[in-house]
Amino acid sequence: MSAAVSIRGLRVSRGGKLVLPGIDLDVPPGSVTGLLGPSGSGKTTLMRAIVGVQIVESGDVSVLGMPAGSPELRRRVGYVTQAPSVYGDLTVRENLTYFARIVGVGGDRVDAVIERVGLAGHEQVAGSLSGGQLARASLATALLNEPELLVLDEPTVGLDPVLRRDLWAFFTELAAGGTTLLVSSHVMDEAERCDRLVLLREGTVVAVETPDALRERTGASGLDEAFLRLIEGGER
């Protein structure tokens, strides 16, 4: 498979506003691709289209060799939204046991993901968890079926630096094991941890490059400066 995600001519409008004007993009398998851009640049809309929950006007989105949203992809794709995706009146274990039954995995897998996201010993009612713990609980639900593609919409928003570092190390480990990750962020220092970057501005793909290549292209010392040079037309 040459691309885990292949997009051609994707055009999406929301609320009467054109959000994605017809973009092309490929996401290579077994890598961490960072989807970066300011708020309102179309990151979430693009991710929704990839997981098959966004109405599109035109274009083609292929995921793991199938049309986005195909029923066969439900067990192969994990999606974590910005909002918590667990029930606040259930414990962490009860949430994961419920979702495990939906995706058809056993209790051993529930134990494994609780341990993997660092929530062992924090299995109280989800509504009493901190923001960081809620983010990890939501991630745990997406990991239950060991997805081939993991789509994460700003998973580190509001987290402390240590937890952010640990999560990014985990994402890198998943990619090393063959999982494809598409991770959105508006924090440029997280871009350094990605294999490849997709920079969006006003729904348009500004660049698709490695962090090093982006710095070389713009002559910038940092990725935040590189991004600003690209969107302001100041690349060398």
For the chain, the domains span 1-76+150-211, 84-146
User: Using CA atoms, how far apart are residues 202 and 224, in angstroms rounded to an integer?
Assistant: 17
pLDDT of residue 123: 73
pLDDT of residue 235: 57
Structure tokens at 138: 């939501």
pLDDT of residue 1: 58
CATH 3.40.10.10 is right for the domain spanning 1-76+150-211: no
pLDDT of residue 195: 95
Q: Are 205 and 41 in contact (CB under 8 A)?
A: no
User: Using CA atoms, how far apart are residues 37 and 188, in angstroms rounded to an integer?
Assistant: 9
Q: Residue 127 gets which letter from DSSP?
A: G
pLDDT of residue 236: 52
Q: How many CA atoms are closer than 13 Å to the CA of 101, on its beta-carbon side?
A: 5
Q: What is the mean pLDDT of the chain?
A: 90
Paired residues of 10 in beta bridges:
23
pLDDT of residue 191: 87
User: Using CA atoms, how far apart are residues 47 and 171, in angstroms rounded to an integer?
Assistant: 17
Amino acid at 105: V
Tell me, yes or no, if the pTM score tops 0.85.
yes
Q: Are 10 and 27 in contact (CB under 8 A)?
A: no
Pairing status of strand 5-14 against strand 17-27: antiparallel
pLDDT of residue 133: 86
Q: Digits of tens for pLDDT over the chain (236 positions)? A: 589 999 999 999 998 899 999 999 999 999 999 999 888 899 999 999 999 999 999 999 999 999 999 999 988 999 999 888 899 999 999 999 999 998 889 889 999 999 888 888 877 899 998 888 888 899 999 999 999 999 999 888 777 888 888 888 889 999 999 999 999 987 777 888 999 999 998 999 999 999 999 989 888 888 888 888 887 765 55
pLDDT of residue 67: 97
Residues 6+ apart with CB under 8 A from 126: 84, 86, 87, 88, 89, 90, 91, 92, 95, 134, 137
The closest of 51, 100, 80 to 183, measured between CA atoms, is: 80
pLDDT of residue 11: 97
pLDDT of residue 10: 98
User: Using CA atoms, how far apart are residues 205 and 42, in angstroms rounded to an integer?
Assistant: 10
By the 10 Å C-beta count (0-12 exposed, 13-18 middle, 19+ buried), 4 is classed as buried
SS3 for 121? coil
User: Using CA atoms, how far apart are residues 232 and 236, in angstroms rounded to an integer?
Assistant: 12
- 41-61 confidence digits (pLDDT tens): 999 999 999 999 999 999 999
DSSP per residue over 198-227, as a string?
EEEETTEEEEEE-HHHHHHHHT-SSHHHHH
Strand order of the β-sheet with 5-14 is 17-27, 5-14, 58-63, 66-67
pLDDT of residue 25: 97
